[in-house]
Structure 1
């Protein structure tokens, strides 16, 4: 059997274009610093750092307009590995992960590593078990892949309906975190901030779909990474004289650890299934930073890690992005970049938490009378930080800090210019827009391709197909915005539930669809439905206090239940036909023509 290797054309000027964007973004930040030094009003500074970058993102998205379905749904299959990996790293856990995890590290220390390890392992598993083969198949959405893989329209519709639920949860979480960051610019209501974000997402992505997303989210991810790295690097220089916070935070942690022991912070021995992540609002410093298994039990740590592994590896807003790379080699390479960049971001937020603890430690370990600095009063006035010493000398356990404000408070604590604070807040907004855009476009494509047009394999006319896709994008974003406004739930909790639902429902079926030929449409349908329903029931039971466990651990029951149901039903029903067995063999061969494109071309010829 002969194969012809086909790759998309990659624009050789992409590096130049994004170099220009980085220069413009840096110039905008420097101009804001200059304005602040000249005494320009704070309103002007806020407007510059808030509206300026958003205008750049929207311009990139609108300039990527297309009327070609392949460009709209797969960015023409010519996105280089680095840019794909950059966006995958940013959108895996999004702004929710950056903001809430920073606060979690600050409040409970190393116990939050379960989420970091799970995300990194998810990229590795995706690169080994799923991404190359999904790229070879080339489907635009996960339900489209499952429908064609098992030649079942019913499975396609079932998967589309089930996957829409966790995607809505992630989208709502990102909109809420983005709205929280906007509050650092303007004290507007959360509802108005959410509607603003929805409008920006639709305006940026409607013109070019995945093509607009590929380039606008690359710019947003660069902005988010710069906004994360710059403030903490400055703090690292101030504290350690070394501009590498990922390395210099270690000696600071040893100093903090000695102070924690002297302050009497407890060493906690939790139950095996304890999962006590800090929630929204003010939370006390619960334990010593480097003390493992204080808020998260050992078994819960393993369960959450595996849940994140399965959820990230099979996430329907991440996996289809590899279909936009020029080839299978680039798909694998993009996961390598994603792992590297995700690891750098997670090491950085851990450094932010350590430096914040160090600043608070300096207050309570000073000899003589404790005096609170000006930044403490500022954060206390804003409701971000509180102290309860009961009339005595305050200790570390006396402080309560808002989890979702730790990341943005570091420039304030280090007494940096207001422009740096707004730079950090703008980075969180950029991260929220990138992740919300990725989820919204994936959900819109599922609604248009797998639900509206899911009853037929024949491709519709390009004009009507793209109109439906753009309307579905707007509907998905608006629905998620409505959910974020009417059901205000902890964003980190929403993210963990969504990843648990995704991993339990789709991960076993996706892996088996590639590596076990005996799996048929009945087994795949049973696996998806069982994993989803069992996980939903486990989440409800956990949140209602019926099981005594957190809802984030629901995948511990749902994932094996889905796998067992898929295998048992497949073995109890007829084996798949020969053509589907040959399709699996073709999927496993990394080279050659993209199977989905070949199938669509043949269907168009039959239609003619």
Structure 2
């Protein structure tokens, strides 16, 4: 196993490879579109759109397998900034914020901006306060970073246990949303489809770890953006004659404000701390689109942004991704690209929500003459819309949409061929797979590196390290599928819970470990444990009705607890080690040797000297 402080050579053919994939994916869509016009069986076409991309993902993952430790755990530290940013953006969104997020924008309007602002703020915080310094350290996992930063095996194992909880929640949410999308696409039993997706994840990333995830994840991200931007742009051209959906919906919003109030939607006054994004299942529109703070109160909005931002910036399935970039400068650039890609995707889903809201307004307007629009009956047949099909007039209260089906109702409302719906579903499925794969490979690395080997600084042989984590990939994917089936919970709520727990437990210690030299190992342990315990307890009592703060944002109440106890414990016994001070000094210098690689070289030399 070779380690090097120099920037590694980037594969110059990456653009060619992924251009070929994009061309294949586009060709698949065009073929399905042609066959649909030739009256081929629609179920067969939907199965092709489901099985074809999954087969490609598995082939890519198997073809780039590796047994090299640096390649398996950090993709060789040579992933270009744009590809790292694309992966970070797609992994932070997942199928949950693409599918459920569209429904949140559709029902809550302005208030759903908490998802957009929180995620983008998280990337900004990560780029400024964490990512460059984490990249200089170069650890494969967050627990490994904290353990070596403070030279504490106990902190390493404790952090591994804490980090595993939010990662399991995110994995369960993505598999659940992915199983629901797959059920809409091909039918069948949802539980079986969830296990099929877990098997896909295990096959596609077990062979090469982070290297396989990089290649497969970029392909899945391309599939997501091709589907999302392709369908949204087509709808925008048809509806507004402008090919920029992110800007073309502005005039429509101004019309929605006036007409929705005329049709009976009233302004809603809520508690300032309220945080009520739409739940899973069917619901009716209850507030005007542009009314601020009709579902989320002003205080809840600010706390929600803070909870999502801190969770994203310290997420143990996102932050280690920057360790795969060639250097600190590229790590900073990758966060810029992540902000661009993530913002583009969320602006696009909000545009899709506006377009569908306009079609819904046309269907319920009192001045409308003639029968109900045909697309409502098609959407009802696909279990996206529920309404009285014998009625001749509908109000907003009589028309209910499935939150996780709003995105797929848009092609039906515009009258596009079914191939566009299949394309959207395949893109949403790719989004769920990329985030589920990110959490799976990160959690497997945490279990293999920080739990199995957590109480020893001596690394195992390279082959054994790789095979242990490879086995954990399959175990984690299976456990995520079991959790998703055994404890079905709203995926959007699970993701926000996970981010709140991460922000409360890991964010304070990660920031202090870089920016406050006097933080001690005792303060770090107390900060991680107290933040996690306070967040979990707050969510639990909120769900039991014993705390007035809504559970999605209740977890972030543990963040000030973690900060205060970590600071107080460190000040009580200011015994920061000389080694810890030297590490802090080193990680603040952008250039030079990667600290983790240097430590591995020293351990190898010691082991070789003894033998």
TM range (shorter): over 0.9
The equivalent residue for 1:309 is 309
User: Where does residue 93 of structure 1 map in the other structure?
Assistant: 93
Partner of 2:329: 329
Distance 1:17 1:389, change over 3 A: closer
Q: Report the equivalent of 2:567.
A: 567
Structure 2 equivalent of residue 553 of structure 1:
553
- What is the CA-CA distance between 1:389 and the residue it aligns to? 11
TM-score (structure 2 length as normaliser): 0.97
* 1:178 and 2:161 aligned: no
Cα-to-partner distance string for 1:368-405 (whole Å, 9 max, x where unaligned): 54521222112223332123699784222332111000
Distance 2:371 2:255 in 1: 21
1:40-79 correspondence runs (5 A):
40-79=40-79
- Whether contact under 8 Å (2:372, 2:392) holds in the other structure is no
Q: Structure 1 residue 93: deviation in Å?
A: 2.9
SS in structure 2 opposite 1:185?
A: helix
Secondary structure in 2 aligned to 1:401?
Answer: strand
Partners of 2:50 and 2:186 within 8 A in 1: no
Tell me if structure 2 keeps the 8 A contact 1:5–1:591: no
SS at match of 1:93: helix
Is the contact between residue 90 and residue 435 of structure 2 (CA under 8 Å) also seen in structure 1?
A: yes
Aligned to 1:25: 25
Matches within 5 A, 1:18-417: 18-365=18-365, 367=367, 369=369, 371-387=371-387, 393-417=393-417
Aligned twin of 2:598: 598
Aligned to 1:424: 424
Check whether the contact 2:81–2:337 (CA below 8 A) recurs between aligned residues: yes
The answer on whether the counterparts of 1:95 and 1:432 sit within 8 Å (CA) in structure 2 is yes
Query: How far apart are the structure 2 equivalents of 1:399 and 1:100?
Result: 18
Contact 2:530 2:561 (C-alpha < 8 Å) held by counterparts: yes
Distance (Å, rounded) in 2 between the aligned partners of 1:443 and 1:164: 6
Q: TM-score, normalised by structure 1?
A: 0.98
Q: Residues 391 and 15 of structure 1: is their aligned pair in 2 closer, same or farther, counting only changes over 3 Å?
A: closer
Question: What's the secondary structure of 2:401's corresponding residue?
Answer: strand
1:268 to partner: Cα distance: 0.8
1:431-470 to 2 correspondences below 5 Å:
431-470=431-470
CA separation of 1:207 and 1:5: change in aligned 2, threshold 3 A: closer
Structure 1 residues 578, 426: closer, same or farther in 2, change over 3 A? same
Tell me the SS of whatever aligns to 2:497: helix
Moved more, 575-584 or 211-220: 575-584
Instruction: Tell me if the contact between 2:263 and 2:366 (Cα under 8 Å) persists in the aligned partners.
Output: no
Which whole-Å deviations, capped at 9, do the CAs of 1:90-149 have from their partners, x for residues lacking one?
Answer: 111311011111001101111011121010000000000000000000000000000000
Cα root mean square deviation, aligned: 1.4
Give per-residue Cα distances to partners, 1:28-76, cap 9 Å, x unaligned: 1111111112222113211221111111111111111101000000000
Deviation, 1:549, is 2.3
Distance 1:263 1:386 in 2: 19
- Structure 1's 244 and 168: CA in aligned 2 closer, same or farther, altered over 3 A? same
Task: Name the CA distance, whole Å, in 2 between partners of 1:274 and 1:224.
Answer: 32
Residue 463 of structure 1: CA displacement?
A: 1.3
CA contact (8 A) 2:146 2:156 kept: yes
Cα 1:183–1:580 shift into 2, 3 Å = same
Unaligned 5+ residue runs, structure 2? none
Q: C-alpha deviations, 1:265-294, integer Å up to 9, x for none? A: 010111111111111110110200000000
What secondary structure is seen at the aligned counterpart in 2 of 1:518?
Answer: coil
Maintained 8 Å contact 2:116/2:346: yes
